[in-house]
Amino acid sequence: MTSDTTRKAYPAIDPYETGRLPVGDGHELYYELCGNPNGTPIVFLHGGPGSGCSPHHRRLFDPQRYRILLFDQRGCGRSSPLGGLDANTTWHLVEDMEKLRRALDIERWVLFGGSWGATLALAYAQTHPETVSAMILRGVFSGRRAELSWFYEKGANHLFPDEWENLTALVPQAEQGDIIGAYRRRLTDPDRAVRAAAAASWTQWESATVAMRSGPPPQPSRSVSDATIAFARIENHYFHHDLWLEDGQLLDRADRLSRIPGVIVQGRYDVVTPAITSWQLAQVWTQADYRMVEGAGHAFAEPGILQELLAATDRFSSAL
């Protein structure tokens, strides 16, 4: 842990530039640049997959030292088409990052990603290691079948039996052996009402498990937004296809990161992405500084997690 446990994120800032980049296949990405146009380039890779970026993500980086790039991945947030599944795979996103890097004239950049964002960072860095100056990863998810099984078949349901009951209530008993597949059928149903009901249940399961200490339960909403449906559709789409990764691929190829320094931040009680994956990654990515945060779960805004992330971004802003 860092010594300053009361430290807050950086003050809110607005982008100095926004844009849209056509990347092919009918997809167009929204991106924004914040901070110092002459600072160290850093790219924020949002989670999900499917969630998109938010203004509070800008506050993880010193705006005086960093040229901060945030973008919404295919089908997410302000990118279009919203919720689009066609030509939307891990490897499309890796090449989208390259197109953004070249379009913005960035030679090398720091990668910052948590959860699915860490997955994408690893996939990109193993494909284009020469363009990566450092990586900061949180709650590492590598896309292995065992990790998906933990969260959607056996494991997390033992800790959250009430929330698991809510997740499975939408699915007939005969389909409960494959929750991801059962939800895929509903999230791709032509009837919006069916998609909305599935999206509400899918996102509630994740929301209930993401933090070590949850606040009051959210009040049920009578409507489900298009953004919520898009998030659930895209996340389920990726999980249904095993993220287009060979099982264990990102750990097996971690030797490709040997010249890249980094920090891995992990909550001890992270239920969404248990610590075993980040621990195993740290054993083979020896350039990474491993930071286990006691009393923390998965969410980046939990105090101990946030302190370590801010310390890591400060470290690379001056060291590179």
Is 201 marked active-site? no
Between CA 195 and CA 288 the distance in angstroms is: 41
Between CA 27 and CA 80 the distance in angstroms is: 6
Say if residues 126 and 251 touch (Cβ distance below 8 Å): no
Phi, psi of 44 (to 5 degrees): -90, 125
Say if residues 200 and 193 touch (Cβ distance below 8 Å): no
E-strand spans in 47-103? 66-71
Q: From the candidates 51, 79, 80, 115, which is the catalytic residue?
A: 115
Q: In what side-by-side order are the strands of the sheet with 132-138?
A: 17-24, 27-35, 66-71, 40-45, 109-114, 132-138, 262-267, 288-293
Say if residues 53 and 28 touch (Cβ distance below 8 Å): no
Provide the residue count of the chain. Answer: 320
Q: From the candidates 46, 57, 237, 298, which is the catalytic residue?
A: 298
Phi, psi of 241 (to 5 degrees): -100, 15
Is 298 marked active-site? yes
Pull the structure tokens for residue 111: 């990668």
Pull the structure tokens for residue 161: 């039996």
Q: From the candidates 57, 270, 278, 317, which is the catalytic residue?
A: 270
Is 241 marked active-site? no
Between CA 316 and CA 87 the distance in angstroms is: 34
Active site residues: 115, 270, 298
